[in-house]
Amino acid sequence: MILVDLELKMLADQHGHLCPNLAIGWRVGLLARQYMANNGAITAECLSCALDALRAMGPWKIKVDPIKGRHLYRLLPDKGQLLVLEVPLDFAWPGEDLINLEERLSRCEATPEEMAAYQVLIDKQVSRILTASDADLFACEKLNNPHL
């Protein structure tokens, strides 16, 4: 079990679970609030869990681009520069152990020990995302050309 911010806890309750992608979406949402206040648009290439966080956190217009196996976000405030955020693969990729356990869980083949191991791996990845600095979690680039 990990301790999380109350807002993230409420998002997880609404979403149905706390997972790494929801945590990434929440972190993007926090940056979006700082960068855009409540005005602007976000274009996202990500999984639905991250989108659930973004949709719940702000009144931004959100456009979803086809997922290309990464977390890429373009934040465009009503006034200002486009901010492009990309989550490095070592934060976004769950790893082979987690993927193998997810497959066993989805086929109802996981033992109780494997279920516990799965939760430990999820908690570790979420904790890593939540405790990372913005500089470590996001590769950022500001662009003058605001085309989403």
Annotate 45-70 with DSSP letters as a single string. ES-HHHHHHHHHH---EEEEPPP-SS
79: left (phi over 0), alpha (psi -120 to 50) or beta: beta
Cβ–Cβ under 8 Å, residues 56 and 32? no
State the Cα–Cα distance between residues 142 and 124, nearest whole angstrom: 31
Q: Report residue 147's pLDDT band, with 50, 70 and 90 as the boundaries.
A: low
pLDDT at position 99 is 86
Fold for the domain defined by 6-143: 60s Ribosomal Protein L30; Chain: A; (3.30.1330)
Residues 25-72 pLDDT 10s: 999 999 999 999 878 999 999 878 999 999 999 999 999 987 776 899
What are the sequence ranges of the domains in the chain?
Answer: 6-143
Say how many residues make up the chain. 148
The arithmetic mean of pLDDT across residues 96-110, rounded, is 89
**Closest listed residue to residue 44, CA positions, set 76, 15, 14, 16:** 76
Residue with tokens 């959100």: 62
